Each structure stands twice: as structure tokens, then as C-alpha cells.
């Protein structure tokens, strides 16, 4: 049986409340979930997507971690990251041509590029700079700089739905009266919608 199907079958048999082993993911996979952070609802409503947080899977010594931007950029054990989402749900996506693109050399490049971001503080105002960084910006820049692969479409703040009350409150909190509507931004929803990616696991 294909390893991904085997893992999904195990999750089904164990049931949603059971403690299951992580699915058969691999280095370079993108993982998405609904965060339990204070800004999660605003991100979901602004982008019309359940995904409010994401990261990328990296491997060190045969152990899988998720490189993510939370309070700082850090590596979180895969099982811990998957369990942290709302109701333990997540989706994992992979390059459709991963077999040819994610060679051992390419994965090494991802790991080397990731080191440049470790420890960076989280960007609460979603600016397109490296001084501080948010989750989807981190993954977009990692793939782009390490492999020249662009995932998702960069947009501007004004293209999101900024009319929802939860979004308005968060925008006032972060920007006051001066919202940078033309700031470039990449959302988890945009990256998840990339035609270059396919779903390999979901719960």
C-alpha cells in the first residue's frame, strides 16, 4: 500500500481523538492548519480560507521538524505541530514534481537557507522585509531563494476582505488609522492554492 494511503487509513481507524503517529510526510512538504492564535479568525475571514498558519517540513538526523514563524522563526517537531492546530486538523501539500525537483541537493539547499531565518521575530504588520517575518512569507522566500520556486501569488493588503468586523479590529490594533493597503503580502491561502502543489495528507 502507498505510504500516504497507509497513514491516512491508520488515522481513520484510530479515530479523530486518538493519538496517531505523523503521516508519511517528507522534507519539503508544506503543512497548513487553523491556528489557535489571537489573529487566526481575522486571517481566515480576510483570505476566505480555513488556513491561518503554515510551515515547511525539514529533516535533521532522520527526524522531521516544521520550520515556522510564530513569536520567532523556529523548528517544531512535526507531531507537535500537527497536533497544535484547531481540533488537530491539518493539510499537507507537496510539489507535484517533487521527485525531480526535491533532490538531495535541493533539500540541502532548503536547510541551508532556513538557517538564515532562524530566530527572526514574527512580523505582526506583515511587511515584505526580512527584518521580521510571518509564516507564509517565510515559506515563500525559502522556496524562492533556495530553489527558485515561487508558490502562490503575491498580492496586496487591499485585495483581501477588510470589511469583516474581526478583520477591522485587528487592522486597527496593528496599524491604527494608516493601513498600508499596497504592501505586498503572501497568504497561506494563496500558497495552498498553487497549481504546483498536490495534497498528500489531510485530517
Return the H-helix or E-strand segment holding 54: strand 53-60
pLDDT tens-digit series, residues 123-177: 999 999 999 999 999 999 999 999 999 999 999 999 999 999 999 999 999 999 8
pLDDT tens-digit series, residues 7-37: 433 333 333 433 344 568 999 999 999 988 8
- Which domains does the chain show, CATH number per domain? 3-202 (3.90.1720.10)
Q: Does 2 have pLDDT greater than 50?
A: no
Q: How distant, in Å, are the alpha carbons of 3, 95, 97, 152, 199 from that of 195?
A: 23, 9, 11, 8, 11
Q: Does 114 have pLDDT greater than 90?
A: yes
Q: At what angle do helices 135-147 and 104-115 cross, to 10 degrees?
A: 130
- pLDDT at residue 22 in the model: 58
Residue 17 sits at the vertex; the CA angle it makes with 202 and 74, to the nearest 5 degrees, is 60
- pLDDT at residue 21 in the model: 45
Instruction: Determine the longest span between alpha carbons in the chain, in angstroms.
Output: 56
Between CA 162 and CA 43 the distance in angstroms is 10
- What number of other Cβ atoms are within 10 A of residue 160's Cβ? 21
Q: How far apart are the first and last CA of the chain?
A: 19
Amino acid at each position: 500500500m502507498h505510504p500516504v494511503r497507509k497513514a491516512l487509513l491508520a488515522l481513520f481507524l484510530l479515530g479523530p481523538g486518538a493519538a496517531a503517529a505523523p503521516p508519511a510526510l517528507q522534507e519539503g512538504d508544506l503543512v497548513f492548519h487553523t491556528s489557535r492564535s489571537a489573529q487566526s479568525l481575522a486571517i481566515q475571514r480576510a483570505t476566505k480560507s480555513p488556513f491561518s498558519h503554515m510551515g515547511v517540513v525539514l529533516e535533521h538526523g532522520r527526524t522531521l521538524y516544521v520550520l515556522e514563524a510564530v513569536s520567532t522563526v523556529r523548528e517544531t517537531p512535526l507531531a507537535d505541530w500537527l497536533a497544535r492546530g484547531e481540533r488537530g486538523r491539518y493539510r499537507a501539500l507537496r510539489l507535484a514534481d517533487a521527485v525531480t525537483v526535491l533532490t538531495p541537493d535541493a533539500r540541502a539547499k532548503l536547510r541551508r537557507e532556513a538557517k538564515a531565518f532562524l530566530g527572526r521575530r514574527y512580523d505582526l504588520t506583515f511587511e515584505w522585509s526580512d527584518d521580521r517575518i510571518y509564516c507564509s512569507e517565510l515559506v515563500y522566500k525559502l522556496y524562492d531563494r533556495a530553489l527558485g520556486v515561487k508558490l502562490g501569488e503575491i498580492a496586496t493588503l487591499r485585495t483581501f476582505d477588510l470589511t469583516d468586523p474581526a478583520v477591522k479590529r485587528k487592522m486597527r490594533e496593528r496599524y491604527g488609522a494608516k493601513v498600508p493597503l499596497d504592501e505586498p503580502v503572501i497568504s497561506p491561502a494563496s500558497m495552498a492554492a498553487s497549481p504546483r502543489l498536490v495534497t498528500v495528507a489531510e485530517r
